[in-house]
A and B are shown apart, each in its own frame.
Chain A
Amino acid sequence: MKTNIQGTTLTVAGIAELSATSSTTFRDETRAALTAAVTTLDIDLSLTTFVDSSGLGSLIALHKTMAGRGGALRIIKPTPTVVQILELTRLHRILEIVS
Chain B
Amino acid sequence: MSLVQDIPIRPLSLGTPCELGVVREVCGRIRQFLAGCGMDAKELGELELALTEAGNNAVLYAKPEGRKLPVRYDVDVRGHHVEVRLFDHTPGFEFPERAELPDPEAESGRGLFLIQSLTDEAIYLRGRGENCLVLRKNWDFSRAVAAREEPKGSEVDRSQNVEDPARTLELMTEELASSFESLSAIFRFSAEVSASGNSPEFTRRWLNELLLITESDWFVLRMVDPRASMLRDVMHSFPDGAGAPTPLEPLFLTPTWRSSLPIELKAAIGRNDVPFDPGAPLGFQDPLAACGVAGTGFAHPMVVNDSLVGVLTVGRRDGTRAFQSGHASVIQTFADFFAIQTRSQQMQEERVQSMLTLRDLEIAATIQRSLLPEKLPSAPGIDLAGFYRSARVIGGDYYDVIPVEGGALLLVADVMGKGLPAALFAMMFRSLVRARTDLASRPGEFLAWLNTNLFRELDRAGMFITAQLAFCDVGRKEIRVAGAGHPPLLLAGDQGDVRETASGGPPIGILEASAFPEDVVVWKNSRLLMFTDGLIEARDPVGGLLGLEAAKGELAAAARGGLSGGETRDALSSLLVRFEKGTAPADDTAFIVMVTTHE
Q: Do chains A and B touch in the complex (CB under 8 A)?
A: yes
Which A residues lie at the B interface, using CB under 8 A? 17, 19-21, 49-50, 52-54, 56-58, 60-61, 64, 81, 84-85, 88-91, 93-94
Q: Are B117 and A88 in contact (CB under 8 A)?
A: yes
From B21, B23, B114, give the contact of A89 (CB < 8 A). B114
Q: Are B49 and A60 in contact (CB under 8 A)?
A: no
Given contacts A20-B60, A21-B21, A88-B118, 11 further A-B contacts (CB under 8 A): A19-B52, A20-B23, A21-B20, A21-B24, A50-B49, A52-B52, A53-B108, A85-B49, A88-B117, A89-B101, A89-B113
B117 CB contacts on chain A under 8 angstroms: 88
A58 CB contacts on chain B under 8 angstroms: 107
CA distance A47 to B105 in the complex (A): 25
A89 CB contacts on chain B under 8 angstroms: 101, 110, 113-114
A60 CB contacts on chain B under 8 angstroms: 104-107
CA distance A60 to B114 in the complex (A): 16
Q: In B10-60, which residues have CB < 8 Å from any A CB?
A: 20-21, 23-24, 45, 48-49, 52-53, 56, 60
Closest B residue, CB atoms, query A57: B107
Q: Are A52 and B49 in contact (CB under 8 A)?
A: yes
Q: Are A88 and B107 in contact (CB under 8 A)?
A: no
B107 CB contacts on chain A under 8 angstroms: 57-58, 60-61
Q: Are A53 and B111 in contact (CB under 8 A)?
A: yes
A53 CB contacts on chain B under 8 angstroms: 53, 108-111, 114
Interface string of B99-133 (1 = CB under 8 A from A): 00100111111110110011000000000000000
From B45, B53, B101, give the contact of A90 (CB < 8 A). B101
CA distance A49 to B49 in the complex (A): 11
Q: Are B56 and A20 in contact (CB under 8 A)?
A: yes
Main SS of chain B's interface residues?
helix
Given A52-B56, A89-B114, are A57 and B108 also a contact pair (CB < 8 Å)? yes
> Can you give 15 A-B contacts (C-beta < 8 A)?
A20-B20, A20-B52, A20-B56, A21-B24, A50-B24, A52-B53, A52-B111, A53-B109, A57-B107, A57-B108, A60-B107, A89-B110, A90-B101, A94-B104, A94-B105
Q: Are A54 and B108 in contact (CB under 8 A)?
A: yes
Q: In B67-104, which residues have CB < 8 Å from any A CB?
A: 101, 104
B20 CB contacts on chain A under 8 angstroms: 20-21
Q: Are A64 and B105 in contact (CB under 8 A)?
A: yes
Closest B residue, CB atoms, query A22: B24
CA distance A15 to B109 in the complex (A): 23
A64 CB contacts on chain B under 8 angstroms: 105
CA distance A58 to B20 in the complex (A): 17
Closest B residue, CB atoms, query A58: B107
CA distance A20 to B107 in the complex (A): 13
Closest A residue, CB atoms, query B49: A52
Q: Are B48 and A56 in contact (CB under 8 A)?
A: no
CA distance A53 to B106 in the complex (A): 11
A88 CB contacts on chain B under 8 angstroms: 114, 117-118
From B45, B108, B113, give the contact of A81 (CB < 8 A). B45
A54 CB contacts on chain B under 8 angstroms: 56, 108
- A21, A53, A84, A85, most chain B CB atoms within 10 A: A53
B113 CB contacts on chain A under 8 angstroms: 89
A21 CB contacts on chain B under 8 angstroms: 20-21, 23-24
CA distance A54 to B111 in the complex (A): 8
Q: Are B108 and A50 in contact (CB under 8 A)?
A: no
CA distance A21 to B23 in the complex (A): 9
Q: Are B114 and A50 in contact (CB under 8 A)?
A: no
B539 to chain A, nearest CB (A): 53
Closest B residue, CB atoms, query A82: B45
B101 CB contacts on chain A under 8 angstroms: 89-90
CA distance A17 to B48 in the complex (A): 13
B426 to chain A, nearest CB (A): 35
A49 CB contacts on chain B under 8 angstroms: 45
CA distance A56 to B110 in the complex (A): 9
Q: Are B24 and A85 in contact (CB under 8 A)?
A: no
Closest A residue, CB atoms, query B56: A20
